[in-house]
Chains A and B, each alone.
Chain A
Amino acid sequence: MTEKLLVLNDIRKNFGAIEALKGISFSIGKGEVVALLGDNGAGKSTLVKIISGGLQPTSGQMLFEGEEFEAKTPAEAKAAGIETVYQDLSLCTNVDVVANFFMGREITRKIAGIPFLDERAMEEITTKALTSAGTRIPSMRTKVEHLSGGQRQAIELNRFAHWGGKLLLLDEPFAALGVEQTRRGLDMIRHVASQGIGVVIITHIMQQAFQVADRIVVIRHGVVAGDVDRTKTSPDAVIEMITGQTLTGAGPVGKQ
């Protein structure tokens, strides 16, 4: 990848006596999709939380767009363009698609100094953004509670891209979705990445990682156990990295 979006340098995290991360180093390029794999308890969620401001690292350094970066809160990370999309945590299902797309960023027109919602302008922009991404939603005025999991995810991802997001973090985003919806979700991730957005996706399912990722990063016991180009590895090789029998030639190994 040409330009580095985020560089992680020897990130460590201790929870009391537990060393959850023991020095993680890798990087994510613009428009690159990185699949983060690893066994339960390997430290994937911890790492993603550190990037998105939910946790602070015990030591280590992050460079975001070439500058030193450490978010103290998720809001700070979000302001910088980094966001984790969690299922069910980022949409208000009791209002319609447009209201969700513009949540907290409503377009208003002032009448006598009072801001009024400009529904027509918001609907137009929402329709344009979602249809250009190939999302099929019957009406922008449908309440989100009536939409499928896949449609909800499409709203979240496109909203992120539309509002200038730069690095998208997904922690097991397809856990609740069916086969067809997962396929559409993966397409959507590629679509988001094609706009120059970096994506880190945590998944348990090897097949998904190989379908969507440019690079595969494996974490084991808090260290990078493999960092390989998707085209230069195989599911079997990755499984061996996850379980601990690193093959020769599988890629650089994180320093211990």
Chain B
Amino acid sequence: MTPRTRKSLESVLDNLVWFMLIVVLALFSALIPNYFQIGIFTNIIEASSVLGVMSIGLALVIIAGHMDLSVESVAALAAMAVGILFCSAGIGMGIKLSPQWLMIPASLLVACGIGALIGLFNGFLVVKLKMSAFIITLASFIWVRGIVLAVSGGRSAQDLDPAIRWFAIERVAGIPLSAWIAIACFVVFSVLMAKTPFGRHLVMIGGNETAAYRAGIRVTRNLIIAFVLAGAIAGLAGWLLAIRTSGATANLGVGLLFNAFAAVVIGGVSLKGGVGALPGVYAGVLLLSSINTAINLMGLPANYTQVIHGFLVLAAVLLDTFKQRLRQRLA
């Protein structure tokens, strides 16, 4: 194989998700009545904001060669905290700040702060004490959701303060601000991963931790920061979730983890670490969101959605294995 064919094959593999997105959108537009309209596309972007933000954190940790299963529960806890503090109905305490806009940074700080703390806890146990990331973050997935249930008593908070709700309502170019926040996150973190030493180091740690360590890269510190970032971003996803639903319920966001997981893997991030980039993850998120929209439009019962999502995760992992094999053959 000439280097050029190899190179082009490899860039096809790297950008596979974009081809898939285009094919799926074209197929749905052709086959499903009413699919092809601008409204649907803004809808897809809007519906993908929470999932998108959550996927960024998950992708960071997987690229660095680890795993964070706790992001869904962390988002739920952040949403519940924002709901309890700033909702006026249900279990909401209806706290008001003046001037009103202060509630935006305050609620953001609460959401991201909670996430960062749990991320620090995960990171410390996994990186410093060298415990299995899978088990530690699975435990966090369970106990954090437990806290959500405990503090809410199974009840919900409604009527989020309009000052915060504003992000879901105000639109720029037909897309709500909350979705713009997700897009901005993708831009910022894509640049962070591709253009800064920190991002480069995470990729190298994911590729060969020993080599990175031997080259003087502060592996422990970088990995803990990655876990903290993943937690904080999951907190931000929770904040967006609270805004979108104008409150929080005890089972808010259940199932998002597997969507995020599927989006990340379909987006080209390899589970073995060191491979993948965030723009692809965004394409993966949009792809899942397009499929969800199609399911809704076709009016499939909700139970089937779960089956389809399960198969999507399976397909994503199969795709990852297949791509790894192909890459090995190319190498």
Contact = CB atoms under 8 A, between A and B. Distances in A.
A and B found bound together: yes
Interface in B295-331: 327, 330-331
Contact of A91 (B3, B206, B211, B275): B211
A176 interface: no
Contacts of B200: 95, 99, 106, 117
A99 B331 CA distance: 18
B154 to A, nearest CB: 44
A103 B3 contact: no
Nearest to B217: A104
B214 A90 contact: yes
Interface in A69-106: 74-75, 78, 89-95, 99, 103-106
A76 to B, nearest CB: 11
A145 interface: yes
Contact of B212 (A103, A105, A115, A138): A103
Interface string B176-210: 00000000000000000001110011011011101
Interface size class, chain B: 20 to 34
Nearest to B276: A94
A150 to B, nearest CB: 15
10 contacts: A91-B208, A92-B203, A92-B212, A94-B203, A94-B274, A95-B200, A103-B211, A105-B215, A106-B197, A108-B197
A172 to B, nearest CB: 18
Interface size class, chain A: 20 to 34
User: What is the interface of chain B mostly: helix, strand, loop, or mixed?
Assistant: helix
B217 A103 contact: yes
Contacts of A74: 214
A115 B197 contact: yes
Given A94-B204, A115-B197, 4 more contacts: A92-B212, A95-B204, A95-B207, A106-B197
Given A94-B208, A115-B197, A146 B215 contact: no
Contacts of A115: 196-197
Contacts of B195: 116-117
B204 A99 contact: yes
Contacts of B6: 146
Interface of B: 3, 6, 195-197, 200-201, 203-204, 206-208, 210-212, 214-217, 274-275, 327, 330-331
A99 B206 CA distance: 14
A116 B215 CA distance: 19
Given A114-B196, A117-B195, A138-B3, A94 B214 contact: no
Given A108-B197, A115-B196, A117-B200, A146 B330 contact: yes
A116 B191 CA distance: 9
A95 B203 contact: yes
Contacts of B211: 89-92, 103
B175 to A, nearest CB: 27
B196 A92 contact: no
Contacts of A117: 195-197, 200
A146 B212 contact: no
B212 A104 contact: yes
A176 B250 CA distance: 57
Nearest to B270: A94
A105 B200 CA distance: 11
Q: Which A-B residue pairs are the 7 nearest by beta carbons?
A: A94-B207, A104-B215, A94-B274, A103-B215, A92-B207, A104-B216, A92-B204
B45 to A, nearest CB: 28
Contacts of A105: 215-216
A136 B275 CA distance: 26
Given A99-B204, A104-B217, A89 B210 contact: yes
A139 to B, nearest CB: 8
Contacts of B207: 92-95
Interface string A43-77: 00000000000000000000000000000001100
B187 to A, nearest CB: 14
Contacts of B327: 145
Nearest to B272: A94
Contacts of B210: 89
Give the most central of B6, B207, B216, B275: most A CB within 10 Å.
Answer: B207
A91 B214 CA distance: 10
Give the most central of A95, A103, A108, A145: most B CB within 10 Å.
Answer: A103
B274 A78 contact: no
A145 B331 contact: yes
Given A91-B208, A114-B196, A146-B331, A78 B203 contact: no
B196 A94 contact: no
A146 B206 CA distance: 18
